């Protein structure tokens, strides 16, 4: 099971066929700041709007190590064969054997299957070696891109949870997606 930073060791790098999930580095700040100017990231995620450089600094330098220390993990997603930062994916600190995942991908890196592969990698790692039994996603019903990622990664929609989010001050419904350790999964 995920535990405290002291007994988890360093955050690993997870390598797939096309993408690599690695710990955040201080030199990622500019790329995070640039990506988070994207209107879709601002529309569908909880990033602050407007997105100032200090938020990217806080994400990379504070939120990432704090999340690892709390039992979760935030990863930078990069193409395996090199290239600029593709996106962000993370697993929030688990409880009772399950955890919620979240992600965004920079506009220039979309449409290549990177996010679905990153989600498959993250989930496999969450199950083994981390020992979770369930990974969840909370997706706005209108977010076709994120629903596509969830389904491509083998997640199942379990229903609509009404007014589960307070999105920029407004209650909004979410579709609850989940993958169990025992579910069939597409090949990585």
Ligand X SMILES: CC(C)(COP(=O)(O)OP(=O)(O)OC[C@H]1O[C@@H](n2cnc3c(N)ncnc32)[C@H](O)[C@@H]1OP(=O)(O)O)[C@@H](O)C(=O)NCCC(=O)NCCS
| 1-60 residues near ligand X, rule: CB under 6 A | 40-41, 44-45
Nearer to ligand X, 11 or 146 (CB): 146
Separation of alpha carbons 109 and 87, rounded Å: 8
**Binding segment toward ligand X, per CB under 6 A, in 10-18, 54-62, 63-71, 148-156:** 148-156
- Return the residue of 85, 116, 121, 122 that touches ligand X, per CB under 6 A: 116
> Please, are residues 33 and 56 in contact by the beta-carbon 8 Å criterion?
yes
Nearer to ligand X, 8 or 22 (CB): 22
Q: Give the residue nearest to ligand X (CB).
A: 148
The count of residues interacting with ligand X (CB under 6 A) is 22
| 59-88 residues near ligand X, rule: CB under 6 A | none
Nearer to ligand X, 40 or 57 (CB): 40
Residues that bind ligand X (CB under 6 A): 40-41, 44-45, 103-105, 110-116, 139, 143-146, 148-149, 152
């Amino acid at each position: 099971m995920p535990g405290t930073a002291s007994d988890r060791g360093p955050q690993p790098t997870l390598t797939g066929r096309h993408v690599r999930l690695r710990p955040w580095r201080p030199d990622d700040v500019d790329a995070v700041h640039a990506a988070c100017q994207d209107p879709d990231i601002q529309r569908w995620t909880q990033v602050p709007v407007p997105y100032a450089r200090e938020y990217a600094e806080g994400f990379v330098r504070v939120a990432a190590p704090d999340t690892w220390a709390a039992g979760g993990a935030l990863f930078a997603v990069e193409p395996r064969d090199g290239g600029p930062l593709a996106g962000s994916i993370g697993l929030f600190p688990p409880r009772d054997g399950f955890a919620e995942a979240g992600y965004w991908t920079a506009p220039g890196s979309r449409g290549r299957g990177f996010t679905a592969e990153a989600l498959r990698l993250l989930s496999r790692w969450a199950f083994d070696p981390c020992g979770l039994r369930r990974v969840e996603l909370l997706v706005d019903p209108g977010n076709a891109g994120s629903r596509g990622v969830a389904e491509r990664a083998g997640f199942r929609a379990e229903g609509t949870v009404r007014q589960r989010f307070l999105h920029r001050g407004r209650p909004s419904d979410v579709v609850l997606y989940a993958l169990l350790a025992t579910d069939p999964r597409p090949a990585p």
